[in-house]
A and B are shown apart, each in its own frame.
Chain A
Amino acid sequence: MAIEDEDQIKLIIQSKRDEIVGKLNDRISQEVFKEIEVIQNKHDLLARDELARPFTI
């Protein structure tokens, strides 16, 4: 359901703001680091083929 009224949106966010702020932090989780490693490895394997591709049009 899309909420059209801007004041209504502000009220919803205002009422939940403190709860969200309470969840925020400045850290990056270990799960994210592991995922970076997985994607980086997959990427490096396939990127080698693509690097040699000629652009000729």
Chain B
Amino acid sequence: MPADQLVYPFSETTRFLGSSAISDYISRYLTIIEAKTIVVERDYIDKDYLIDFSKFYSRSFNIDKKRTTRVHFFDHIFSNEEFQDIVMTGDPQKIEQLNEHYLGFSVVKPIQDQNQKDLIGRTLLKTYRDEENDFKRKYLRYKHEISLFGIKLVIDSLPYQTQDSAVGGCATIACWIVLQQLSYKFELERASLFEITEKSVHIPTIGRNFPSHGLTMEQIKSFFDAINLETEFILPSIMAESQFYDPKVDCFVEDAIKAYLELGVPILVGIALQIKDENRSFTRKIIDILRSKKIDLNFKYHAAVVTGYKSINKRIIELYLHDDGIGPYCKTLPVNGFYKWNNEWISRSGYTAIHVQTLLIPLYPKIRLPFKEIYIVFLGQKRGFEAWNRELGIDPSLYNAELFLMDIRQYKQFLLKENFVNKLEIMLKSFPRFLWVIRHNYGQKPFFDFLIDATDVYANKAFQVIVFNYPVVQS
């Protein structure tokens, strides 16, 4: 292909992204968001891959390429000549037009997986629309400035990359994705896949460290410890055992996702992928040993990151995951609640069920009050309001409760637009940096906020309560 040929129709994407399952997902995703044209940036230096190359691949006999290919996507049609003209003239109007139609990029690494498919590196893709009819979408994302031959492009997204089992398995990728978001949120240093695996394997397992065959939850936790973050580790099934938990109206997984994503904190989810029943050639003795060690051969364990959701009337109806086995912002549906999921692990990879086993939330150390405790407070209050509603004859469908982790800036910005009792006094009051907000709504509007200082060690009482003035109607 000629070196000065940079622009291709979107239909030629596979030529550059390869034919892996991930590149197929990316092509399908881009088709939905109406990609029309691609620009190919050859010899692109990707920092993440360069670090992994210097720390691992450079000492391999058969790998000598340290540069990648970056493919950019646009939802309008333009020619190679038109694009080269922009590079030559730097026309601000045409650059603005490119930006309006920019959908993001994918880096293709010069290495292959075990099936000889090209590995997809750092990928940033535009999200689905934030609002659609009555639906709302919330995403973890932030603005990235990209230089394409000097043309400044901006994309609001969260980086993704696929598994590179030489330097990091699914858990390493999940840590990398989480770190992308937290480094933006809390100004932390980023790390490449190799560096994450290297920091995690201080807790030894019987397997090799490199090539990596995955990490345990303990090793994941040890990585976040090493970068001075706290972690909250939660088993959703135990939380649902609380006497205050009502499975008819509560969903712990949904509540946890809503609470943390409000602050912009990603949730790393440990999932169990259920395998179709097959005849396995294990002896009875081995099966007995595995059972005694609580190892179930019907499941394979995988890590993914929740990076967004779609909601209607304040209830989540669909999740978006950055899953290294599927792709960025992959749609995931609940199966009778969010303890079980349905996504491409079932429709394309043939697993029979996806069970949510564990949640791991890396947190800024100043957020001290654990979610596990606050959630019980939340459930207790919710049951109290429901009892009052019954007593006062209020239709139960008018009431709902929400739990959020927020920072002072977010919360005061929200308050500024609201009408509530003692507004001036509360607005002028000094607040802690992080707050747990338990919100009780009537008719989808906030009625009462119970604020707990999230930087405190004990939750004895509210830091502040806020009673909203409900819009008055003349009868």
Give bound CA distance, A6 to B444, whole Å.
10
| A10 and B472 form a contact (CB under 8 A) | yes
| B169 and A39 form a contact (CB under 8 A) | no
Residue B460 at the chain A interface, CB threshold 8 Å: yes
| B216 and A54 form a contact (CB under 8 A) | yes
Report A20 CB to chain B, min CB distance, Å.
6
Give bound CA distance, A6 to B442, whole Å.
11
Q: Is the interface of A mostly helix, strand, loop or mixed?
A: helix
| B380 and A31 form a contact (CB under 8 A) | yes
| B169-190 Cβ-contact flags toward A at 8 Å (1 or 0) | 1110010000000000000000
List residues of chain B with CB within 8 A of the CB of A36. 372-373, 376-377
Give bound CA distance, A10 to B270, whole Å.
43
| A7 and B465 form a contact (CB under 8 A) | no
User: How many inter-chain residue pairs (CB < 8 Å) link A and B?
Assistant: 153
Residue B142 at the chain A interface, CB threshold 8 Å: no
Give bound CA distance, A57 to B447, whole Å.
45
Residue B448 at the chain A interface, CB threshold 8 Å: yes
Residues of B196-255 at the interface with A, using a CB-CB cut-off of 8 Å, are: 205, 213-218, 220-221, 233-235, 238-239, 241-244
Give bound CA distance, A32 to B380, whole Å.
6
List residues of chain B with CB within 8 A of the CB of A24. 448, 465, 467
The residue of chain B having its C-beta at the shortest distance from the C-beta of A41 within the complex is B238
| A9 and B213 form a contact (CB under 8 A) | no
| A57 and B473 form a contact (CB under 8 A) | no
| A1-31 Cβ-contact flags toward B at 8 Å (1 or 0) | 1110011011111101101110111111101
| B235 and A52 form a contact (CB under 8 A) | no
The residue of chain B having its C-beta at the shortest distance from the C-beta of A21 within the complex is B467
Residue B470 at the chain A interface, CB threshold 8 Å: yes
The residue of chain B having its C-beta at the shortest distance from the C-beta of A39 within the complex is B242
Residue B357 at the chain A interface, CB threshold 8 Å: yes
| A55 and B392 form a contact (CB under 8 A) | no
| B301 and A3 form a contact (CB under 8 A) | no
Given the interface pairs A9-B398, A42-B241, A56-B214, the reply to whether A28 lies near B443 with Cβ below 8 Å is no
List residues of chain B with CB within 8 A of the CB of A31. 380
Residue B10 at the chain A interface, CB threshold 8 Å: no
| B472 and A20 form a contact (CB under 8 A) | no
Report B356 CB to chain A, min CB distance, Å.
12
Report B347 CB to chain A, min CB distance, Å.
16
Contact of A53 among B234, B270, B395 (CB under 8 A): B270
Given the interface pairs A9-B442, A14-B473, A19-B392, the reply to whether A56 lies near B300 with Cβ below 8 Å is yes
| A56 and B235 form a contact (CB under 8 A) | no
List residues of chain A with CB within 8 A of the CB of B470. 10, 13-14, 17
| A57 and B372 form a contact (CB under 8 A) | no
| A46 and B238 form a contact (CB under 8 A) | yes
Contact of A47 among B235, B384, B448, B473 (CB under 8 A): B235
| B358 and A50 form a contact (CB under 8 A) | yes
Question: What are the 10 tightest A-B residue pairs by CB atom distance, in nearest-first order?
Answer: A56-B214, A9-B443, A26-B462, A57-B302, A32-B380, A55-B171, A55-B303, A10-B473, A13-B442, A43-B238
9 further A-B contacts with Cβ under 8 Å, apart from A12-B395, A14-B472, A43-B238, are A13-B394, A21-B467, A24-B467, A28-B377, A43-B235, A46-B238, A52-B216, A56-B169, A57-B169
Q: List 15 A-B contacts (CB under 8 A).
A: A3-B395, A3-B397, A11-B473, A20-B448, A23-B384, A28-B377, A28-B460, A29-B380, A43-B234, A43-B372, A50-B233, A50-B235, A54-B213, A55-B174, A57-B214
